[in-house]
Amino acid sequence: MTHLFALSAAATDIISISLRSRLSAARLTYIDSLHGASRQQSFTASLLLDEAVRRCFPSVPRPLDIAANENGKPYLTAVPAVHFSLSHSAAWAVCAVSDHPVGVDIQQCRSFKPNIADRFFHPDEVRYLSSLSPAERENAFYTLWALKESYVKADGRGLRLLRQFCVDIACQPPAITVGAPGSLFVPDFPDPAYRLGVCVRETGAEAPKLTVLRNISAE
């Protein structure tokens, strides 16, 4: 089962001692090494992960100890079978937790970027985008981008995979037409300026429910 959570990046106070106590010393050291908006976004995303695990997998020891495998994919050292993925973009942070490998990505919609599509998308995806009207193309681009990023995160082998698989968003739910199988979802997001993509490495997975939190309280 996959669970999805979202929280405004500005909803947490990064200097709150009680909130910081929910995270491991190693995680706080990493967060405090960041600068600008990235620091606040990472802090919120990390708290969101802690809250998601507390709610969905309460037996997992906390504070969470996070490591990365040889490809850079993060995992929970105490319970590697509990999978997670984090993403943040501008005003939002999102988190997915699951009993299967999972990836989540959120993208703030701005303008269509053909250079990114030509460089990182599968040729069939580029042709599909080219067939759309300008208005349709922008929405489709960010939907594809979020789904492709979520697939890469679930796979865990890095961005080199981006052109090696193809996503068909003309069907519902979206389908992987080239590449390893999995389940893709585009959950409705309350902020229309963003697109959310989720990939679960399980054929026929149930669509995750999105829970939008207003805040995270100290324990």
**CA–CA separation, 55 and 38 (whole Å):** 25
Answer yes or no: is 141 within a domain.
yes
130-147 tens-digit pLDDT: 999 988 999 999 999 999
Answer yes or no: is 167 within a domain.
yes
**CA–CA separation, 78 and 82 (whole Å):** 9
This prediction's pTM: 0.94
Q: What is the count of structural domains for the chain?
A: 1
151-188 tens-digit pLDDT: 999 999 887 888 899 999 999 899 999 988 999 999 99
CATH code (residue 13): 3.90.470.20
Answer yes or no: is 53 within a domain.
yes
Answer yes or no: is 176 within a domain.
yes
* Domain enclosing residue 100, as ranges: 2-209
pLDDT at 157: 87
73-121 tens-digit pLDDT: 999 999 999 999 999 999 999 999 999 999 999 999 988 778 889 999 9
Answer yes or no: is 215 within a domain.
no
In DSSP terms, which residues pair with 6 in a beta bridge? 94, 212
pLDDT at 79: 96
**CA–CA separation, 144 and 159 (whole Å):** 14
20-79 tens-digit pLDDT: 999 999 999 999 999 999 999 999 999 999 999 999 999 999 999 999 999 899 999 999
